[in-house]
A and B are shown apart, each in its own frame.
Chain A
Amino acid sequence: MPDLTCSLLGLTLHNPIVLASGILGTSAALLERVAQAGAGAVTAKSCGPAPRTGHPNPITIEWGHGLINAVGLTNPGAPVEAPLLAEARALLQPLGVPLIASIFGGTPREYGEVARTIATARPALIEVNISCPNVADEFGTPFAADAVAAAEVTAAVVANAGGIPVSVKLAPNVPDIVRIARAVGAASASALTAINTMPGMVIDPYAGRPVLSNRSGGLSGPAIKPIALRCVAQLAAEQDLPVIGTGGVLTGIDAAEMLMAGATAVGVGTAVWYRGPEALGQIVAELDEFMAAEGYTSLAELRGLALR
């Protein structure tokens, strides 16, 4: 039987499948539910300095090859989120499933403040969302595409994270993702999450307008898997931080591909839309089956295979 145990930044995960941020991560009970469904680790929904209701409906639509969403960073604000994360950590601890927090802000200083508040909940990892495509220039966008700004945000978070390791979530739509990765690495990030959703637009021709109230949104699901695989492969080949490879993973076979591209762990989000909250456990089972059938005994044998 293959060994799916995954080592990430000194954490031991039962398996490499990680719930991506923004999917079902809005409450302690939902995070616990996904952990019970078989996730190796779970990421909470991004939280910022103040409460946000997000964009009005429609916030998401399936368009044929994936989803597009613009939820708009709905969150209760860090001071409310921190106790919720502490509650989640307590529920997850007996399951042996690490909690990853996700944060955003409008300035490096805000990122730092949110990190300091969230660090009180002692998540295993703080993911820094510098790449939400749905809030224009208000949050994130200016940081994801600019190596200097990305590094500033990373440094502010690391300085306030109380020793908790930091992963920076990168955008796919940059000229050179490795350049951004190296910059955040130099600013003491411990890991990378790649990729965030890809900016896009879905127009309803009969309505003559974009479907999302926000007009544009982030593409996820099958359409972006090849984009994610390329970004992860580049990152794995050209820099040293471990990567949580995320984007379009719906099945265990997709997860194997992401590991072969060099990912240390594999983020799963949109699969929940297609397969329900049980998706993560199903993906773990399929990965196990694939590895057994193909004669792989550990994740190390898969990791980066496609880069050799």
Chain B
Amino acid sequence: MHRIYALREVREENARTRTLVCDGPLEARPGQFVMVWLPGVGEKPFSVAGDDPMALMVVGVGPVTHAINALKVGDRLWVRGPLGQGYELEGERLMLVAGGYGVAPLRFLAEQALRRGMCVEACVGARSAADLLLCSDLAALGVRLCLATEDGSAGERGLVTALLTGRLAAWKPDLVCACGPVPMLEAVERLCAQQGVACQLSWEAEMRCGQGVCGSCECRRPGWLACVDGPVTVG
């Protein structure tokens, strides 16, 4: 069954990205996702970017996301979820690693970690300064930021994983939580394994039923379903 929300606020993050703040809460953990249906348009998965009130960050990449991003304050959207397994906070020092749009669930996670009294740092990477998202939000929460852009227009020039290598050695976090493109996640997984640091990674997959029935989101390893076994891997 769907829960219907109206939009309370629409924040422009960059030219094709908006944060949609809804008019009610959703009891969800960071890393979990929802299926959002726009009648007559379609249905897509989004990671939960905030729980009270529920928030989503939407990047316009196709017909459904463009239509969602065209919604105005007061317009409605239909939500199924929360679905899947989220991050599980542990330890005292939390390192977030975000690639591009992967920052959305990590801002939500930072909020919860700080509320639990954890110390939070974030390595945020993107193509260019314009693609660095939610950084001021993170800074305002009290998260120490390390930035990297591929074109060097903000922070270090290069990949976020280069930043992470340095911070893993210097700051020695208890847990690394990452969300971003697959090559980034694989690199984070490797680096954490080398340093013996626990890491939790959020994987993206094609979602259809979203609830462990259709098999569309099998990825990572044979038999693993991103929708019910993930999207976050803990290990």
Q: Which residues of A contact B (CB under 8 A)?
A: 23-30, 32-33, 45, 54, 56-64, 69, 71, 74, 204, 206-209, 211, 213, 269-270, 272-273, 276-277
Contacts of B37 in A (CB 8 A): 57-58, 211
Q: How far is the CB of A209 from chain B (nearest CB, A)?
A: 5
Pick the residue among A27, A58, A269 that contacts B218 (CB under 8 A): A27
The stretch among B14-22, B39-47, B52-60, B175-183 that forms the contact with chain A is B39-47
Q: How far is the CB of B60 from chain A (nearest CB, A)?
A: 17
By secondary structure, the A interface counts as loop
Q: How far is the CB of A217 from chain B (nearest CB, A)?
A: 12
Contacts of A59 in B (CB 8 A): 208-209, 214
Contacts of B207 in A (CB 8 A): 57
B43 and A58 contact, CB distance less than 8 A: yes
B93 at the interface (CB under 8 A from A): no
By Cβ-Cβ distance, the 6 closest A-B pairs, closest first, are A29-B222, A26-B215, A29-B223, A207-B39, A57-B43, A58-B43
Tell me the nearest residue of chain B to A33, going by C-beta.
Answer: B223
By secondary structure, the B interface counts as loop
Residues 211 to 235 of chain B near chain A (Cβ within 8 Å): 211-216, 218, 221-223, 225, 228
Q: How far is the CB of A142 from chain B (nearest CB, A)?
A: 25
Q: Which residues of B contact A (CB under 8 A)?
A: 1-2, 4, 35, 37, 39-40, 42-44, 76, 78, 80, 207-209, 211-216, 218, 221-223, 225, 228
A207 and B78 contact, CB distance less than 8 A: yes
Tell me the nearest residue of chain A to B37, going by C-beta.
Answer: A58
Contacts of B1 in A (CB 8 A): 61-64
A276 and B42 contact, CB distance less than 8 A: no
User: Could you say which of B207, B215, B225 has the most chain A C-beta atoms within 10 Å of its C-beta?
Assistant: B215
Extra contacts, 18 of them, besides A24-B212, A26-B216, A61-B2 (Cβ < 8 A), are: A23-B213, A26-B218, A27-B222, A29-B223, A30-B215, A45-B215, A56-B42, A57-B207, A58-B37, A59-B208, A60-B214, A71-B208, A74-B208, A206-B4, A213-B42, A273-B209, A273-B213, A277-B212
Q: How far is the CB of B39 from chain A (nearest CB, A)?
A: 4
Instruction: Please measure, in the bound complex, the distance between the C-alpha atom of A45 and the C-alpha atom of B208, giving whole angstroms.
Output: 15
Contacts of B4 in A (CB 8 A): 206
- With known contacts A58-B37, A211-B37, A27–B78 Cβ distance under 8 A: no
Instruction: Please measure, in the bound complex, the distance between the C-alpha atom of A71 and the C-alpha atom of B208, giving whole angstroms.
Output: 9
Contacts of A269 in B (CB 8 A): 213
Instruction: Please measure, in the bound complex, the distance between the C-alpha atom of A27 and the C-alpha atom of B43, giving whole angstroms.
Output: 24
Contacts of B209 in A (CB 8 A): 59-60, 69, 71, 273
B212 and A209 contact, CB distance less than 8 A: no
Tell me the nearest residue of chain A to B206, going by C-beta.
Answer: A57
20 chain-A/chain-B pairs, Cβ below 8 angstroms: A26-B215, A27-B215, A29-B223, A30-B225, A32-B223, A60-B208, A60-B211, A61-B1, A64-B1, A69-B209, A69-B213, A71-B208, A204-B2, A204-B39, A207-B78, A270-B213, A273-B211, A273-B212, A273-B213, A276-B228
B208 and A57 contact, CB distance less than 8 A: yes
Pick the residue among A28, A71, A208, A272 that contacts B212 (CB under 8 A): A272
Contacts of B213 in A (CB 8 A): 23-24, 60, 69, 269-270, 272-273
A24 and B215 contact, CB distance less than 8 A: yes
Tell me the nearest residue of chain A to B214, going by C-beta.
Answer: A71
